[in-house]
A and B are shown apart, each in its own frame.
Chain A
Amino acid sequence: MAIEDTNMEIIKIKKSDWAGGIDKSRKTYHLFGPVKHKNHHIFRQLENNIYPDMEYMSSVLSPKSVLFPQSQKILVTSADASGKACHIFTPPEQDHTPRAVIGIRPCDAKAVQLVKLNFDTKEYQDPYWCSAFEATTFVGLAVNTPSVLDFSTSAGSGPFAQEGLDVLLVDCKDHYLAKILSQKGKEFLNTAGFNEKEDPKAADQVIQQMKISAEKAICSVIQTQHLKKKTVLELYEAPFWEDIAFSCISCGTCAYVCPTCWCFDIQDETQGKTAVRFRNWDTCMPALFTRHSSGHNPRGEKIQRVRQRFMHKLKYFDDKYDQGIMCIGCGRCVEKCPVNIDIRDICNLMNAYKPEKESDAGEIKGEIK
């Protein structure tokens, strides 16, 4: 629940007190955070002697796995006739005691809100994702020095954006300013023993100044203003998809590193008398994703799948939910795509696209730079 700005509270956390507070919070929360691993950072659950690396720039995979693990047991059953649950699928025991994600980037927190639109709807509430979400407090870390690949400000978020966060931490060299954004956030800071209140007006001014300079430092922008007005068909039939799709190798990298991609596959695995139903991340890039059991495949061609990815993120999503595009500008797919397919270019291309004549939308010979 968001706290009104008039009751705004900003807490000062000296860096010398940080580790102690983190340790205190462990008594109540399972902590997740960025950790240096080999050449990069990953988000994972932190053991008691591990602290989140607050100097990290980005994590190779997004923190979506805290709520939506790559592989999750959702149901188990047994063929053992002596047991009570013989042949009855039941959810395994799950830990939904409080957890906190420390140091999540603001755009990644916004991504969780977009994923929520899928897992928490009026008709259906995904019990696994929703319980994990309820249990989680998001303690964000504002990005003072955005990456050259960060285009979050033009993708509905930003280096200091607050949406989806319970606390926003701002790194002020020897201390953090912690802006409380929800009751959950307040409770986390209390538990950690962070309670040195700052004058909210003065502290917020400091934060605003830092926000302005961080936003100014963002050098990468996308144009999205015309996407909504365009018809699905005119974009669908645009001539540029073939060129974009050529280099794609149909791997799952873009979807797996993406904080907003939510597609999954259900798999049953049996061993001896035990059966487990798993939910695994899936990706729309390989042909297998849409192959029907009949053998028919509505997206058997690479061009159809590449188009689907960008149409879903940049057009269908906004048309359906009216919440902007399904991309928060983190830059992970731009960096990690093995063939450098760049969503920024594609978004700009779609946004600027005008079929010459309605009738020959599908025939214009187009090319991309």
Chain B
Amino acid sequence: MNTITKNIQELAVSLLRDKTVDIVIGFKSGTVPMSSVPFVAKTTEQARTFIWDTHCRLNLANYLTGRKEKIGIIAKGCDSRNIANHIIENKISREQLHIIGVPCSGMVDKVKIASEFTEEIIEYTEQPDSFVVKTASQTKTLLKKDYLRANCSTCMHPNPVIYDQLAADRVTEPLIENQFADVNRIEALSRDEKWQHFDDLLQDCIRCYACRNACPLCYCPTCFVDESDPQWVGKGTDTTDIRTFHFLRAYHCAGRCTDCGACVEACPMDINVRDFTRKLNKDVFDMYGWEAGLDIKNRPPLDTFNPDDPDEFIK
């Protein structure tokens, strides 16, 4: 058992034992290699099944919406920023939460790892900086830093921004010179190439809405795609309807997205859903110097009005 797992378990056990909280939300081991399962512990025995590894990719803030209990929650940097969002947007109160922060050294990209092998991965074990992958005919040791998820490799806020306790020492926050190199690449494309890029991106979308449902921001009681009176979008596989869903969802996340990557993680078709949200994150950063969820005092720029707001885009 790694130290962070041990610390998380101990902290969660004492929170439940002392009745500081009613439940603790964390991760437990998955049943297939390179997976984890969001899990709620109500008893100390259950809290002893919590784990922490580089597959805790989903965002646990997604499980807070609408809950009434006193909640303990395990939060890496991005989860904590979404918790801050939730507090600002009145989805949960700070007093209702006991946050066990986990300074994060990044999650690995399971698709990238799988693409290194022609055979199926049957076993995955983790060491501090590396991991061992087993297939039927080979065993390979790979370095975590080479297989970080794209969003983790540009993350500058790996430490939780709000927390009550930490499960590990803070990690050094990297300074990345250009955290939007991926967006720059798309911006540099010609109009036709851009169209092609986004067409290719959405080619496989099956409208399962896993991206939306894994996103802590997408808590609308009825999503616009599910409205029937009026019905804004068709429900089939028409490309216009598929684009409409993704474009509108991305705009709805502008200034709120923490780039946690849960949308990409959840997508069964391996669509890089972040290609939509990233451009908006960049624009909000360039125009307002804003990164979402860094504290619980300031509201997102598109949620407020200021006479000095930039308006050059209005022609």
Contact = CB atoms under 8 A, between A and B. Distances in A.
Contact of B214 (A249, A336, A367): A249
Given A149-B32, A338-B265, A253 B235 contact: no
Contacts of B40: 243, 246
Given A247-B38, A253-B268, A345-B31, A286 B209 contact: yes
B232 to A, nearest CB: 13
Contacts of B266: 249, 251, 253, 338
A71 interface: yes
Interface in A317-369: 334-336, 338-342, 344-345, 367, 369
B235 A148 contact: no
Interface in B32-78: 32, 35-40, 42-43, 45-46, 49, 58, 62-63
B92 to A, nearest CB: 17
Contacts of B115: 39
Contact of B268 (A70, A243, A257, A342): A257
B30 interface: yes
A345 B31 CA distance: 9
Contact of A38 (B209, B236, B270): B270
B189 interface: no
A280 interface: yes
Interface residues on A, range: 35 or more
B49 A253 contact: no
Interface residues of B, number: 44
Contacts, number: 108
A167 B73 CA distance: 54
B226 interface: yes
Given A288-B226, A336-B268, A251 B236 contact: no
Interface in B207-264: 207-210, 212-214, 226, 234-238
Nearest to B41: A367
A89 B111 CA distance: 46
- In the A-B complex, list the 6 residue pairs whose CB atoms are closest, starting with the nearest: A71-B236, A338-B266, A251-B210, A252-B208, A249-B213, A340-B30
Interface of A: 37-40, 42, 57, 60-61, 70-71, 145, 147-149, 243, 246-247, 249-253, 256-257, 265, 267, 269, 278, 280, 283, 286, 288, 334-336, 338-342, 344-345, 367, 369
